[in-house]
């Protein structure tokens, strides 16, 4: 008696077993990533920072075609440094 596609079936079984082990290995990192994503999406302070960055960008670019933007790419945040001094005053600086 022969089993149709025996080698493919065995490869599939081995792959499924390896996949389960690999998922078990990276599950803690995936949980960290999921929790961090949740925190960012539900953070009121982060939303406020994004609103301030957009407002400052619109104020600086008000007379250009880039003024009055409705949004910006998150990559633009890499150019912004937020500095908070001892008495709690927040300053936005453009980083080079």
Task: Read off the tokens for 9.
Answer: 């079936």
Separation between Cα atoms, residue 61 and residue 55, nearest integer Å: 10
Separation between Cα atoms, residue 12 and residue 36, nearest integer Å: 34
- Domain edges within the chain: 44-94
Using an 8 Å Cβ cutoff, are 72 and 57 in contact?
Answer: yes
Residue 88 CB neighbour total at 10 angstroms: 6
**What does the angle CA 9 – CA 13 – CA 16 come to, to the nearest 5 degrees?**
135
Confidence of residue 96 (pLDDT cuts 50, 70, 90): very low
Q: Is the pTM of this model over 0.85?
A: no
The pLDDT, as a whole number, for residue 87 is 59
**53-59 average pLDDT score:** 81
């Amino acid at each position: 008696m022969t089993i149709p596609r025996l080698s493919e079936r065995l490869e599939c079984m081995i792959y499924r077993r390896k996949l389960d082990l690999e998922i078990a290995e990276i599950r803690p990192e995936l949980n960290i990533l999921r929790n961090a994503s949740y925190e960012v999406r539900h953070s009121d302070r982060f939303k406020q920072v994004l609103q301030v960055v957009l407002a400052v960008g619109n104020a600086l670019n008000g007379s250009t075609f880039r003024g009055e933007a409705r949004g910006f790419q998150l990559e633009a945040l890499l150019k912004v440094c937020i500095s908070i001094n001892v008495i709690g005053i927040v300053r936005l600086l453009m980083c080079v």
